[in-house]
């Protein structure tokens, strides 16, 4: 079964806790992206990575961290420093040649 997998789909956490969202792919794409979406809003870029062991901050990176130790995986950690972490988080892959993005189903994080 090929594609992009985000987990968990729903996640609840208490204030002050770090949480890591998983994004895994087996399509052999180099580029991976993390976006955040708030209700009724568009997508805002958190972090992105075009190659292994390299990643760049997006427009709203504060309070988040990522790693890209292998091509297949681009996990996002929402740290306690993120003041308003409740949101819908979307991971995407970028096709190397055509540039189109393939999105996962998303992870909905709720901070209690």
Partner 1 sequence: DAKTTQPTSMDCAEGRAANLPCNHSTISGNEYVYWYRQIHSQGPQYIIHGLKNNETNEMASLIITEDRKSSTLILPHATLRDTAVYYCIVSRAVKTSYDKVIFGPGTSLSVIP
Binding site for partner 1 (CB under 8 A): 31, 33, 35, 41-45, 48, 50-51, 54, 56, 58-59, 88, 90, 92, 94, 96-106
- Tokens 């870029």 found at: 45
The Cα–Cα gap between 3 and 95 comes to 12
Please, what is the minimum distance in Å from the beta carbon of residue 107 to partner 1?
A: 10
Between 16 and 99, whose beta carbon lies closer to partner 1? 99
Please, what is the minimum distance in Å from the beta carbon of residue 50 to partner 1?
A: 5
Q: What is the DSSP string of 38-75?
A: -TT--EEEEEEEEETTEEEE-TT-TTEEE--SBTTB--
Please, what is the minimum distance in Å from the beta carbon of residue 17 to partner 1?
A: 24
Instruction: List the strands of the sheet with 76-78, edge to edge.
Output: 4-7, 19-25, 76-78, 64-66
The Cα–Cα gap between 102 and 79 comes to 26
Please, what is the minimum distance in Å from the beta carbon of residue 3 to partner 1?
A: 11
Between 11 and 101, whose beta carbon lies closer to partner 1? 101
Between 19 and 46, whose beta carbon lies closer to partner 1? 46
């Amino acid at each position: 079964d090929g594609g992009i997998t985000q987990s968990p789909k729903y996640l609840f956490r208490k204030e002050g806790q770090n949480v890591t969202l998983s994004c895994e792919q087996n399509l052999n794409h180099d580029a991976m992206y993390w976006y955040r979406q708030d209700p009724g809003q568009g997508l805002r870029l958190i972090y992105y990575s075009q190659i292994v062991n390299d990643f760049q901050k997006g427009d709203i990176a504060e309070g988040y961290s990522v790693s890209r130790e292998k091509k297949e995986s681009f996990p996002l950690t929402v740290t306690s420093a993120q003041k308003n972490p409740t949101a819908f988080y979307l991971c995407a892959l970028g096709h190397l040649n055509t540039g189109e993005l393939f999105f996962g189903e998303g992870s909905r994080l709720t901070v209690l």
